[in-house]
Amino acid sequence: MKALLILFLFAQAQLFLASMAFGYRCRQARFVMGTVARVEVWQRDEASCQIALETAFAQIKMVDQLMSNFKPDSDLARINQQGAISPVKVDPLTFKAIALSLDYSRLTHGAFDITVGPLVEAWGFYSGQPSFPSKAELRTRLALVGYEAIELDPKASTVFLAKRGMKLDLGGIAKGFALDQAAQALANLGVSTAMLDLGGNLYFLGEPVQGSLWKAALVDGRNLDLIRILLDIKGGAVASSAAYERFFEWEGKRYGHIIDPGQGRPAWGLLSATVIAPLATQADALSTALYVMGLDQGLRLLERLAEVEAILVTEDSTVRTSSGLECVTPEKAEGKLRCTISPKNSTYPGSGRAPN
Ligand code: AMP
Ligand code: MG
């Protein structure tokens, strides 16, 4: 009886603590990094909640100011203007993002490559007026692509581009990187539960207040109003890459903004690639890479990455998932595919730990 009572009291205390800890929820959406950023935080009181929101947005804004393709005074713009003339000194965060990008290039055998800038430009995705480059132009631009030509000096925090005309583009990783920075800053403030959404890149910090799983919905690549897949996860990041927001159509075929660096052309074959990973940087870079790699090569890579799971949807709407996910078919889940990390998958770290 006594033991029961102690347990009961303990449960009461836990409940009390939980309501103290999550007494206040605040959220805000702001336009940053060319998209909408949403941050939702649970905190003890209104004041600390507002401080947390401001801290998270400040981190995202800082990453944007350093790594934007479009801001003339960003580190990235300076690298692209000066980098082939002499090494450019950059902020340690920019250095880290580029170093991580190179890791993902090596891991994906070049499917992820931030030197695609000249190709993204040639296909008109910077100007917003997409066009077909000529074969000669493609050849010239392809010669400027290749991550091996980025030279990093960690001691001096400098970036050097070995070929004149090279252009870096961090569009495939910067949002995830910004989310990890923001989540880390929140954790440093003592925030234990938060949800961040940066243009479809999601990060779940800690465990949700209600229930034990966070829920993410993935829309149909051909009908953005239709939720097709539901994802239940304990925490961490989810990122999707697809061509359905930035693309042009020509003679019935879609040409999207994710470029196959080997071919010099928009990647083709998948409608979307969604990655679930402990860190948002990982999820962002790998979803872009998997979109380029396509189904077979992508699934092979996934089986080598213990902590990473993915949902790949092909052009003909076939859904394939990596082996660490467990999914219930649409017939059993109100017409939607419902997936979760398999309980047998002991490699996924589970609840969203703070990135570092
Ligand atoms: P995401 O939406 O994260 O897949 O990123 C797509 C963006 O990444 C594009 O708009 C380009 O700015 C850039 N990008 C395109 N192709 C690649 C690639 N193969 N590797 C790395 N970044 C890329
Ligand atoms: Mg990406």
pLDDT at 2 over 60: no
Question: What is the tens place of the pLDDT at every residue in 3-18?
Answer: 333 332 333 333 333 4
What does the pLDDT read at residue 352?
56
Nearest-angstrom CA–CA distance, 144 and 120: 12
What does the pLDDT read at residue 256?
87
Distance 24 CA to ligand 1 centre (A): 37
What does the pLDDT read at residue 226?
81
pLDDT at 42 over 80: yes
Question: What is the tens place of the pLDDT at every residue in 95-113?
Answer: 999 999 999 999 999 999 9
What does the pLDDT read at residue 212?
86
Ligand minimally distant from the alpha carbon of residue 35: 1
Residue of 142, 257, 291 with the most ligand 1 atoms within 8 Å of its CB, for mutation: 257
pLDDT at 24 over 50: yes
What value does the mean pLDDT of the chain take?
89
Structure tokens at 170: 């961090």
Could you tell me the pLDDT band of residue 348, with boundaries at 50, 70 and 90? Answer: low
What does the pLDDT read at residue 237?
97
Q: What share of the chain in percent tops pLDDT 70?
A: 90
Q: What value does the mean pLDDT take over residues 190-209?
A: 94
Weakest mean pLDDT among 10-14, 74-78, 138-142: 10-14
What does the pLDDT read at residue 10?
30
Residue among 333, 146, 123 nearest 231 (CA): 333
Question: What is the tens place of the pLDDT at every residue in 53-62?
Answer: 999 999 999 9
Q: For 259, what's the count of Cα atoms within 13 Å in the CB-facing half-sphere? A: 28
Contact indicator for 93, 62 with CB cutoff of 8 Å: yes
What DSSP designation does 252 have?
Answer: T
What does the pLDDT read at residue 354?
60
What does the pLDDT read at residue 14?
34
Q: What value does the mean pLDDT take over residues 159-164?
A: 98
Distance 36 CA to ligand 1 centre (A): 18
Residues with CB under 6 A from ligand 1: 112-114, 116, 120, 169, 171-172, 241, 257-259, 261, 284, 287-288, 292
What does the pLDDT read at residue 211?
85
Question: What is the tens place of the pLDDT at every residue in 314-346?
Answer: 988 899 999 999 998 877 667 788 999 887 776
Distance 111 CA to ligand 1 centre (A): 10
Torsion of the alpha carbons at 123, 126, 130 and 131, rounded to the nearest 10: -40
Distance 201 CA to ligand 2 centre (A): 8
Q: What's the predicted TM-score (pTM) here?
A: 0.91
Residue of 64, 116, 263, 293 with the most ligand 1 atoms within 8 Å of its CB, for mutation: 116
Distance 232 CA to ligand 1 centre (A): 26
What does the pLDDT read at residue 34?
92
Distance 280 CA to ligand 2 centre (A): 9
Ligand minimally distant from the alpha carbon of residue 275: 2
Residue of 288, 292, 297, 312 with the most ligand 1 atoms within 8 Å of its CB, for mutation: 288
Helix (H) or strand (E) holding 307: none
Could you tell me the pLDDT band of residue 349, with boundaries at 50, 70 and 90? Answer: low
Query: Which residue has a Cα nearest atom 11 of ligand 1?
Result: 171
Q: What share of the chain in percent tops pLDDT 90?
A: 72
Q: Please calculate the CA angle 146-306-296 and round it to the nearest 5 degrees.
A: 60
Ligand minimally distant from the alpha carbon of residue 256: 1
Nearest-angstrom CA–CA distance, 69 and 246: 16
Distance 123 CA to ligand 1 centre (A): 13
Residue of 104, 240, 259 with the most ligand 1 atoms within 8 Å of its CB, for mutation: 259
What does the pLDDT read at residue 319?
92
Question: What is the tens place of the pLDDT at every residue in 235-273?
Answer: 999 999 988 777 777 777 778 899 999 999 999 999 999
Ligand minimally distant from the alpha carbon of residue 118: 1
Residue among 232, 234, 240, 230 nearest 193 (CA): 234
Task: Tell how strand 35-43 and strand 193-198 pair up.
Answer: antiparallel
Q: What value does the mean pLDDT take over residues 183-211?
A: 94
What does the pLDDT read at residue 8?
27
Q: What value does the mean pLDDT take over residues 149-154?
A: 98
What does the pLDDT read at residue 40?
97
Query: Which residue has a Cα nearest atom 15 of ligand 1?
Result: 258
What does the pLDDT read at residue 5?
30
Could you tell me the pLDDT band of residue 213, with boundaries at 50, 70 and 90? Answer: very high
